């Protein structure tokens, strides 16, 4: 059965009591009441079970009557059984399940920041300065959200894993750019990175190294989402995490196949076979679809987080 708490006229928390026990107490229209399942303290007139049982609730009594009511409550309290006293002491000492406002943290703004950030990151599918800029802004907004949620749920990995993921992606882009620059330098004077004097070899190594970092980043991000999903109980985040793991697996296959293509590029071109290139294109389309679906569920997951979260 549902147990109820209420705030008396002296601003003290009372309870828990069964619905039938509330008749013994001076509940009026403005009395704040809470039971498990309610997000916050609610006026008695807005709780259907209480209004049905107590009928038409009286208004808040005048101040001069409150002292009489309080003295009556004091006398009645002396007749409470030892079992009732121990129960109240237990509730006061262990506030688990009680709607103590200090226990619940409002995360409405946090989840909105994360949701908007997730929307902006989808723009990374547009390989333009515009898309890159808003994608970076989106990742930063998500990191802010992850950081605050990690403080709420007291799990540092909720922030650490996505942060390392973004770091790995940034490093991969820098390294890829370095390998491309190195390949250009090789046209005029020997390069300085792996691949020797072979321009194509330098580009292949750039894709391999940056690809490994991107794969690592995807795995870290999926792990962070999984941590947040377990802490918040939001199923959409779990789905997004699973899709990112599938994306990770697909990226590994794509990377291996890309190495095969580059290693045999001359033979494939001479044979005039398009099967390998068609398969490569199909894998690219699958990567795009998985990334898009994972991002959509991530957006839904952020906005599905509760407005109030209870620290673990």
Calculate the alpha carbon distances from 143 to 91, 149, 158, 170 in Å: 38, 10, 10, 14
| Residue 25 contacts residue 17 (beta carbons within 8 Å) | yes
List the chain domain ranges: 3-93, 105-309
Strand partners, 43: 32
CA distance 117 to 114: 5
Report the distance separating Cα 214 and Cα 251, nearest Å: 9
Highest-pLDDT range among 36-45, 57-66, 192-201, 293-302: 293-302
Tens-digit pLDDT profile for residues 87-111: 454 444 444 444 444 467 888 999 9
Return the bridge partners of 309, or none.
Answer: 105
Report the pLDDT value the prediction gives residue 31, as an integer from 0 to 100. 86
Burial of 161 (0-12, 13-18, 19+ CB in 10 A): buried
The pTM is what?
A: 0.59
Q: Residues 154-165: pLDDT tens digits?
A: 899 999 999 998
Closest CA to 305 of 143, 156, 106: 106
pLDDT, tens digit, 9 for 90 and up, residues 251-263: 888 878 877 777 7
């Amino acid at each position: 059965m549902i147990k109820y708490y209420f705030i008396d006229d002296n601003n003290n928390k009372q309870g828990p009591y069964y619905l039938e026990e509330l008749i013994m107490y001076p509940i009026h229209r403005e009395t704040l009441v809470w039971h498990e399942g309610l997000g916050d303290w609610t006026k008695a007139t807005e709780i259907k079970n209480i209004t049905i049982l107590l009928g038409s609730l009286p208004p808040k009594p005048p101040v001069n009557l409150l002292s009489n009511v309080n003295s009556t409550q004091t006398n009645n309290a002396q007749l409470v059984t030892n079992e009732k006293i121990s129960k109240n002491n237990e509730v006061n000492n262990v506030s688990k399940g009680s709607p103590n406002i200090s226990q619940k943290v409002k995360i409405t703004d946090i989840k909105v920041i994360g949701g908007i950030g997730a929307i902006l990151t989808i723009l990374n599918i547009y390989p333009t300065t515009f898309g890159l800029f808003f994608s970076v802004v989106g990742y930063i907004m998500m990191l802010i959200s992850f950081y605050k949620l990690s403080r709420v749920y007291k799990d540092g990995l909720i922030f650490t894993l996505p942060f390392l993921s973004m770091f790995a992606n940034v490093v991969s882009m820098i390294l890829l750019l370095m390998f491309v620059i190195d390949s250009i330098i090789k046209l005029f004077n020997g390069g300085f990175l792996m691949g020797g004097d072979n321009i194509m070899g330098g580009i292949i190594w750039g894709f391999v190294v940056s690809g490994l970092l991107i794969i690592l980043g995807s795995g870290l991000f999926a792990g962070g989402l999984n941590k947040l999903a377990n802490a918040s109980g939001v199923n959409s985040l779990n789905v997004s995490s699973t899709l990112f793991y599938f994306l990770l697996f697909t990226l590994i296959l794509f990377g291996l196949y890309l190495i095969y293509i580059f290693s045999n590029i001359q033979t494939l071109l001479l044979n005039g076979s398009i099967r390998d290139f068609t398969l490569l294109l199909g894998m690219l389309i699958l990567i795009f679809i998985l990334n898009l679906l994972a991002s959509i569920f991530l957006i839904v997951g952020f906005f599905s987080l509760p407005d109030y979260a209870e620290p673990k």
